[in-house]
Amino acid sequence: MDVDSFNENDLLLLENHMDVGAKFLGGGANGTADSRRDGRQDHGQRSVSSTDDELLDIRTDRLGPDRLGSDRYETLGYMNADYDEEEEGKYQTSSSNIMDTLEDLPPGIGQYDDFHTIDWLRDIARDRMRHRHIMKKKQEGFLEKLKSAHDAWSGWVCVLLVGVAAGACAGVIDIGATWMSDLKEGVCRDAFWLPKEQCCWSANNSFFNNSGCSQWYSWSQLLGAGKDVNSGGYYIVEYIVYILWALLFAFLAAMFVRMFAPYACGSGIPEIKTILSGFIIRGYLGKWTLLTKSIGMMLGVSAGLSLGKEGPFVHVACCCGNIFSYLFPKYGSNEAKKREILSAASAAGVSVAFGAPIGGVLFSLEEVSYYFPLKTLWRSFFCALAAAFVLRSINPFGNDHLVMFYVEYNEPWYLQELIPFIFLGALGGVFGSFFIKLNIRWCKFRKSSILGKYPIVEVLGVAFITALLSYPNEYTRKNTSELIRQLFSRCGPEDNTELCDYKRNYSSLNAASPTFYSSSTEAGDGVYKALWMLSIALIFKGIITIFTFGIKIPAGLFIPSMAVGAIVGRIVGIGVEQLVVRYHSNPFFHNMCVSDNFCTITPGLYAMVGAAAVLGGVTRMTVSLVVIMFELTGGLQYIVPLMAAVLTSKWVGDSLGREGIYDAHIHLNGYPYLDSKEEFTHTTIAADVMRPRRNDPPLCVITQDTMTLEELESTLKSSDHNGFPVVVSRESQYLVGFVLRRDVNLAIENSRKNLEGIVSSSIVYFTSHVPSNPNDPAPLKLRKILDMAPVTITDQTPMETVVEMFRKLGLRQTLVTHNGRLLGIITKKDVLRHVAQLQNQDPESILFN
């Protein structure tokens, strides 16, 4: 296959490219470059980092210039410094070569700056050229065949390593979080490294219940306050120690994040969505972020805060994917290809979070990925499978399952129960919508108030209030995953909790029957007391989660949302159960009762449905959420209740607000993200959006053969645009192509170092024909860094078409022409500002904060 075969069919494969957010697409006519975090403007210089984390991420793009001599290849816009005819031989082979691997390019060509977009079209096409080169050289010998085989299997090997690493990280985090959570209650006397349950089962003469065992020493015992759990001294000592441990864990988590990796805070899913759409955030997926996030997750969960570690698992897995991608230049030096690995890694993150490999793949497809070809689907499944297998081998919870709240029962459900299931879905949608609005308001207040300047103080304040109010209630005191497990489970003979205090006739002949405990009966006083405690826990968790999600420590939202939904579901389930027991003779409930004393209603099922409903209302997930919950329960018969609740939750939530929590935080942070799920229904045209507009300075352009090097450098210094249209002349404004600031700077820098005769008065040529005049200074030829096929539209193109082009082709910018003459430019940020303005929002909010 040769270069000529690169045609429309290749570009059509890019149709699934969606949003490519980019900071450089700025408000100026040419796309103004936003400043870096330290306030300096990017003038296209090579990015230099002082931290190991960024050094890992900012690797030199070694795929460099595609050395083709044909004009067709030059029209693809690939970067190659063009010097003089003699020097060209150093960088170019004959046109018969398909491509060398760009290893001879000057450093920096093809790289991307921080907070910039990637060029999907260039990167995907460049990878195809690399592949064709390998296929051609494959016939040259055994070594080349081996290289070709390595290139073919490198993707599978990479996702395998990512899956293994994600599973190992998840196992360590789960074990560490369980141990530190139990540390607030006491310590194992003979083996301090064991959590409470394993400590009590480590000796044959031990028994285990909620109060512990002989091997487990509470802090009250260790501090000499006695071991009588009913005494006031015991309660006070345990209360104080609980608060102190919570404050210590929260302080350590906040300090680790602040000192080592500020990007480790939050869940990471909004940023992962933005990165997968084509945005560059250096250091966000580095090794320091991975280490800090992992430790911070354990500390945050152990502090008892209303947050989870399941959402941040996606960030942890993507950090593993980013690190391992650098072992394979095919992915490490090509940002578009790297996002295939990151999509697979996000699937592995959900796989280890919920023990749901299939749900992880669907989550990656539905929620975070925008370029998801079929091969990425297969590799995502393989990566999720490898991660789940490793985590299952580690067995962090000692129950042969991947999650703490796995349930095993297969009681039937009845058609009449669809009414409360749909009711739970509606409640989930309402709660999710109000939660999103209140959380976003609080986050905006945090940004604008003095509270945002003291993140550690905020973390300690939230941790103190949470611990102070959580301890008196046993349902808020315990780990949230343990609470969900208790709410999901059914009451059995081993349960002596208040939630299972039913009035059963143990003298009955059916007491030994396996179905004795699965039958519904009248609730005892303990159940009603538990309902009051659960109601208080519901209010507390619903409110405190609003203030917890967004603080500067690793914090996920899956588990708190599921806990709120599980509480609501269990309460509704007990209510339905008692209604059926009391009115079992009613014809409406006739098929739900085998006899007067045997009705089968499972409150744990309602807890599962409620958890799915609230999580769906908060995140607006649908298919992936149902599959995740199905894999959690292992019960095929519960798919219909889960689907009914999740769909109802999404419908109700969308009627109150279109955005899920992650999209809302993307907009809150001002990420340049063009949502593919929103429809553009306005009737504006490209001329309404392009720059320059009236009263704006004229469009900054470069002429193809009349500017001196001094004039070109003056243009670069006087403007901060990231790219410049190249025209025939300033008078005609006929478009020739488009050139990037970064590539012009690098070409000028390398020509001054490597070529003789280049002076300030040298003429810069972007044409193939250069007139020879021995009396003039040596010309500088930059045609090969010129993109001679930039995406262009006319001024009458509907903005609906323009928006679709930006979404599906991943454009950085498009040039606007009229009868072949250049009129202006539209950047991604111009589109985002236009959409915000049409929605009566502040267009200046489209920034990277």
- Condensed to tens digits (0 to 9), the pLDDT of residues 159-218 reads 999 999 999 999 999 999 989 998 988 888 888 888 888 887 765 554 555 556 778 888
| pLDDT beyond 80 at 15 | no
Most confident of the following: 101-110, 143-152, 315-324, 520-529: 315-324
Q: Rounded CA gap, 439 and 546, in Å?
A: 5
pLDDT at position 126: 83
Q: What angle do CA 76, 340, 57 make, to 5 degrees?
A: 85
Could you report the per-residue pLDDT of 674-722, keeping only the tens digit for each? 877 777 888 889 999 998 887 888 889 999 988 999 999 999 988 888 8
pLDDT at position 167: 95
| pLDDT beyond 80 at 746 | yes
Q: Averaged over 15-31, what is the pLDDT?
A: 38
More confident residue, 677 or 630: 630
Task: State the chain's mean pLDDT as an integer.
Answer: 80
pTM of the model: 0.81
Q: If residue 278 lies in a helix (H) or strand (E), which one and from where to where?
A: none
pLDDT at position 92: 36
pLDDT at position 251: 96
| pLDDT beyond 50 at 509 | no
pLDDT at position 479: 87
Confidence of residue 510 (pLDDT cuts 50, 70, 90): low
Q: Averaged over 70-90, what is the pLDDT?
A: 36
Q: If residue 423 lies in a helix (H) or strand (E), which one and from where to where?
A: helix 418-448
> Residues 747, 91: contact at Cβ < 8 Å?
no
pLDDT at position 408: 73
pLDDT at position 372: 82
| pLDDT beyond 60 at 60 | no
Q: Rounded CA gap, 828 and 279, in Å?
A: 12
Q: How many CB atoms within 10 Å of residue 383?
A: 37
Q: 């497809």: which residue's tokens?
A: 365
Confidence of residue 597 (pLDDT cuts 50, 70, 90): low
More confident residue, 562 or 189: 562
Confidence of residue 352 (pLDDT cuts 50, 70, 90): very high
**What's 204's DSSP letter?**
T
Q: Rounded CA gap, 48 and 474, in Å?
A: 52
Give the residue among 228, 230, 227, 209 at the shortest CA–CA distance from 217. Answer: 227
pLDDT at position 292: 95
pLDDT at position 483: 92
Residue percentage of the chain with pLDDT more than 70: 81
Q: Averaged over 817-827, what is the pLDDT?
A: 90
Confidence of residue 437 (pLDDT cuts 50, 70, 90): very high
The DSSP string of 559-592 is HHHHHHHHHHHHHHHHHHHHHHHHTTTSGGGGGG
β-strands 764-765, 780-781: how paired?
parallel
pLDDT at position 86: 36
> Residues 726, 737: contact at Cβ < 8 Å?
yes
Q: Averaged over 516-524, what is the pLDDT?
A: 71
Give the residue among 814, 793, 819 at the shortest CA–CA distance from 725. Answer: 814
Size (the chain), residues: 849
| pLDDT beyond 60 at 550 | yes
Give the residue among 114, 139, 145 at the shortest CA–CA distance from 22. Answer: 114
Could you report the per-residue pLDDT of 240-259, keeping only the tens digit for each? 999 999 999 999 999 999 99
